[in-house]
């Protein structure tokens, strides 16, 4: 399955997951959650994800390195400050938060299975190949960074 490595752009995978989650929510049981609670929880998670995405993008722009996840070999510098002190993949974390937000908005516990599959796929076919390339490109500083900062949280 190495042929899938770095092939599906994470935004496309994200949009696909949103659609599948919606479809799943139409045919599976729903949570009996107060609409107001679900709405504010969704807004909170969305806002947190947006803040993380902005912080990550600004950090990459500041370091003049690529934000295109399909080409980690084009990385010009190793970013380890700001949000990158807490997670090595803040942009992907943002997408996961948004998917959880969507599952809550849909009142669909079954949709959370899609979130789990998204994480598994993204880790296997996007993050691990990126890590191999970044390790080859930046060597010991990157390996040291991976011992200090977790992949997700």
Taking only the tens of pLDDT, the chain with its 153 residues reads 567 777 888 999 999 999 999 999 999 999 888 888 988 999 999 999 999 999 999 999 999 888 877 777 778 899 999 999 999 999 999 999 999 999 999 999 999 999 999 999 999 999 999 999 999 999 999 999 999 999 998
- Mean of the per-residue pLDDT values of the chain: 92
Which residue, among 133, 102, 131, has the nearest Cα to 23 in the 3D structure? 102
Q: Phi and psi at residue 16, in whole multiples of 5°?
A: -60, -45
Q: What 3-state class would DSSP assign to 129?
A: helix
Tell me how long the chain is: 153
Q: Phi and psi at residue 149, in whole multiples of 5°?
A: -120, 130
Note the pLDDT tens digit of each residue in 8-23: 889 999 999 999 999 9
pTM for the whole thing? 0.92
Distance CA 70, CA 53 (A): 17
Distance CA 4, CA 123 (A): 12
């Amino acid at each position: 399955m190495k042929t899938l490595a770095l092939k599906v752009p994470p935004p496309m995978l994200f949009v696909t997951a949103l659609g599948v989650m919606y479809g799943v929510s139409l045919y599976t049981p729903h949570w009996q959650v107060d609409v107001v609670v679900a709405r504010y929880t969704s807004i909170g998670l969305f806002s947190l994800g947006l803040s993380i995405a902005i912080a990550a993008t600004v950090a990459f722009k500041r370091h003049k390195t690529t934000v295109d996840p399909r080409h980690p070999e084009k990385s010009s510098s190793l970013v380890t400050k700001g949000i990158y002190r807490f997670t090595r993949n803040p942009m992907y974390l943002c997408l996961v938060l948004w998917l959880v937000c969507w599952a809550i908005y849909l009142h669909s516990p079954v949709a959370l299975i899609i979130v789990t599959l998204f994480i598994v796929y993204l880790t296997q076919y996007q993050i691990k190949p990126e890590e191999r390339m970044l390790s080859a490109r930046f060597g010991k500083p990157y390996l040291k960074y991976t011992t200090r900062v977790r992949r997700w949280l």
